[in-house]
Amino acid sequence: MAVAVCAILALAGCGSSSLSATALRNQAAEVCTTANRLTAAIPTPRSPAASSAFLRRGLAVFEPELASLRVLSAPGDLDQAYAVSLDAFADKLQALSLAITRMRAGADPRTTIAGLAHRLAPLDSKENRAWRALEIPACLS
């Protein structure tokens, strides 16, 4: 995973100038495709007690994914939609982190996961609308 992140950072350069729409789409899609592959390899928890570990493993993939996407600089006409997608993604990671913290503190995993799903639904919708507007389907939730 570190190699993929380094490759994306190298492709993106310092992030000081915006990419073309095509370059943004290609580079963001590569970042998301790598993360999708990694998250697909995380086994689904077989019990509520395993939920915290599942979320931690997901967060360990999503945080570098978001960092890599933040390095990319969208062209002016896509800048707003890209900012919306990244903000919604960051809000989702914050919700995941909070759920993990709650479970570590002894919260019931079933209740916590139900609350997390409720919190994530509108964020997923917001993020997915932005990814669709950007024409980057690989980053859809």
What is the tens place of the pLDDT at every residue in 18-28? 999 999 999 99
Residue count of the chain: 141
Check whether 33 has a pLDDT greater than 80.
yes
Element (H, E) at 24: helix 21-40
What confidence category does residue 16 fall into, taking pLDDT thresholds of 50, 70 and 90? low
Check whether 15 has a pLDDT greater than 60.
no
Tell the burial category of 18 from Cβ atoms under 10 Å away from its Cβ (0-12, 13-18, 19+). middle
Check whether 140 has a pLDDT greater than 60.
yes
pTM of the model: 0.86
Higher-scoring residue by pLDDT: 125, 48: 125
**Segment 99-137, tens digit of pLDDT:** 999 999 999 999 999 999 999 999 999 999 999 999 999
Residue type, 35: A
What DSSP character marks residue 14? Answer: T
